[in-house]
């Protein structure tokens, strides 16, 4: 029997993951269609996407651009809403079969919680959701019987390696990292790096925030925390290795010592498609990996003393409570400041560390505690910029 077309809500449709997800949908019109498109402030691209994919509804989070979007789509029969509250409500529509959560940062948490409460499976590209409130999100998903499918290439790799192995406990996982644009550089070099240098990732095409996180190794730190919640692991079961070629996306080691790795060229469309189509694998025209193009695959230890964000993330994971929420909020403020040329590259880790030392620790935070922790951290981090 022919499978039914899956109706998707794409949250963060104008960002890097969102636009690549639409490439996947464009290539698989029988498998997927767009029911909801939601974007933050890129009204021009949102309108262009809506005209092509003809969704039931679009949302622009920036309310000041509501009339512009509404007027552009007025005669197309597409409903237009504005504000984050609208996104939280629209993911609960009966016509939505699955939600792709690709809103960047803490801002994506509320809509994920809303989708789970509406029993919608979530393809999760927003790692900060699990970093900030992993226990809350996973407990809620279990309560509502909702599946969360990882979109991050590393977590998708682990998920793929676990196929047919879910009854076998994981002994250890290895998250691979390219090392970013500054692999092998020392502190003295990093003192003077520019935003333009930091945004030149050697392998991946990603948004600005995640590219800077990759350069500081914070992205890998956030993935360590995300992996703990996705796969129910202890901190000592999660290791990070630098793999400059970005061909092996992650490795799972089982109790008998066997290791399984998922490999492929660095292209986010593959893990996006797998999350949206699971448990099926759809055919694709993605470029294929050829062993003969890579004479060697190499691995090395991350330089933790130089790139301190990775250890800060492990510290947050070990401490628990609201510490990872502090880590994430401080990082978002610091990265934005760096992108706006307000602080140096090395100042990012310094601001995060100061916030983690300053903010009050809450061992068993509620959703309200997370909201307040996020607000207080951003306020304190902003004060450190002055």
Final residue of a structural domain among 91, 126, 150: 150
pLDDT one-digit tens code per residue, 75-130: 999 999 999 999 999 999 999 999 999 998 888 999 999 999 999 999 999 988 99
Share of the chain above pLDDT 90, in %: 93
User: Is 286 contained in some domain?
Assistant: no
User: Is 315 contained in some domain?
Assistant: no
Could you tell me if 209 and 144 lie in one domain?
A: no
Could you tell me if 191 and 53 lie in one domain?
A: no
pLDDT one-digit tens code per residue, 36-52: 999 999 999 999 999 99
Which domain CATH number covers 367?
1.10.1740.10
Could you tell me if 139 and 255 lie in one domain?
A: no
Could you tell me if 168 and 224 lie in one domain?
A: yes
User: Is 229 contained in some domain?
Assistant: yes
Q: How far are the Cα atoms of 63, 72, 159 from residue 43, in angstroms, in the given order? A: 11, 10, 35
Could you tell me if 145 and 162 lie in one domain?
A: no
Final residue of a structural domain among 150, 173, 206: 150
User: Is 65 contained in some domain?
Assistant: yes
User: Is 176 contained in some domain?
Assistant: yes
Q: Per the structure, how many domains does the chain have?
A: 3
pLDDT one-digit tens code per residue, 297-346: 999 999 999 999 999 999 999 999 999 999 999 999 999 999 999 999 99
Which residue range is the domain that position 94 belongs to? 6-150
Could you tell me if 338 and 295 lie in one domain?
A: no
Band of residue 1 on the pLDDT scale cut at 50, 70, 90: very low
Q: What is the mean pLDDT of the chain?
A: 95
Structure tokens at 87: 């996104």
Final residue of a structural domain among 110, 135, 150: 150
Could you tell me if 47 and 140 lie in one domain?
A: yes
CB distance 269 to 286 below 8 Å: yes
Q: How far are the Cα atoms of 42, 106, 242 from residue 146, in angstroms, in the given order? A: 30, 21, 33
Name the β-bridge partners of 38: 11, 59
Could you tell me if 144 and 163 lie in one domain?
A: no
pLDDT one-digit tens code per residue, 238-291: 999 999 999 999 999 999 999 999 999 999 999 999 999 999 999 999 999 999
Distance CA(151)–CA(372), nearest Å, equals 28
Axis-axis angle for helices 323-339, 208-216 (nearest 10): 110
Distance CA(173)–CA(153), nearest Å, equals 14
Which domain CATH number covers 119?
3.40.50.720
N-to-C CA span, the chain: 63
User: Is 208 contained in some domain?
Assistant: yes
Could you tell me if 15 and 132 lie in one domain?
A: yes
Check whether 205 has a pLDDT greater than 80: no
User: Is 374 contained in some domain?
Assistant: yes
pLDDT one-digit tens code per residue, 154-187: 999 999 999 999 899 999 999 999 999 999 999 9
User: Is 214 contained in some domain?
Assistant: yes
Could you tell me if 107 and 238 lie in one domain?
A: no
Mean pLDDT along residues 366-381? 96
Could you tell me if 132 and 19 lie in one domain?
A: yes
Could you tell me if 202 and 238 lie in one domain?
A: yes
């Amino acid at each position: 029997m022919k499978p039914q077309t899956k109706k998707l809500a794409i949250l963060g449709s104008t960002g890097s993951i969102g636009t690549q997800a639409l490439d996947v949908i464009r290539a698989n019109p029988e498998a997927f269609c767009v029911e909801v498109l939601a974007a933050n402030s890129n009204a021009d691209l949102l309108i262009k996407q809506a005209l092509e994919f003809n969704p039931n509804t679009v949302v622009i989070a920036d309310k000041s651009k509501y009339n512009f979007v509404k007027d552009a789509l007025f005669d197309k029969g597409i409903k237009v809403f504005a504000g984050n509250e609208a996104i939280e409500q629209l993911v609960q529509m009966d016509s939505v079969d699955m939600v792709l959560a690709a809103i960047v940062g803490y801002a994506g948490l509320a809509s994920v919680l809303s989708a789970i409460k509406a029993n919608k499976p979530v393809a999760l590209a927003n790692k900060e959701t699990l970093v900030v409130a992993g226990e809350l999100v996973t407990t809620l998903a279990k309560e509502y019987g909702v599946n969360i499918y990882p979109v991050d290439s590393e977590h998708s790799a682990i998920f793929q390696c676990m196929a047919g192995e879910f009854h076998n406990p994981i002994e250890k996982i290895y998250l691979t990292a390219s090392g970013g644009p500054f692999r092998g550089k020392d502190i003295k070099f990093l003192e003077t790096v520019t935003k333009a240098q930091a945004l030149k990732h050697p392998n991946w095409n990603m948004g600005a925030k995640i590219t800077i996180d990759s350069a500081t190794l914070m992205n890998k730190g956030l993935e360590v925390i995300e992996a703990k919640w996705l796969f129910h692991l202890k901190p000592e079961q999660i290791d990070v290795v630098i793999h400059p070629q970005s061909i092996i996306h992650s490795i799972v080691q089982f109790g008998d010592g066997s290791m399984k790795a998922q490999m492929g060229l660095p292209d986010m469309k593959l893990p996006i498609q797998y999350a949206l189509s699971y448990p099926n694998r759809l055919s694709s025209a993605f470029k294929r990996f050829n062993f003969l193009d890579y004479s060697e695959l190499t691995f090395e230890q991350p330089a933790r003393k130089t790139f301190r964000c990775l250890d800060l993330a492990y510290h947050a994971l070990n401490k628990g409570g609201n510490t990872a929420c502090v880590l994430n909020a401080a990082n978002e403020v610091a990265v934005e400041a760096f992108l706006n040329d307000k602080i140096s590259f090395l100042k990012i880790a310094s601001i995060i560390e100061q916030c983690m030392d300053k903010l009050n620790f809450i061992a068993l935070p509620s959703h309200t505690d997370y909201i307040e922790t996020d607000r207080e951290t951003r306020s304190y981090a902003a004060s450190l910029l002055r």
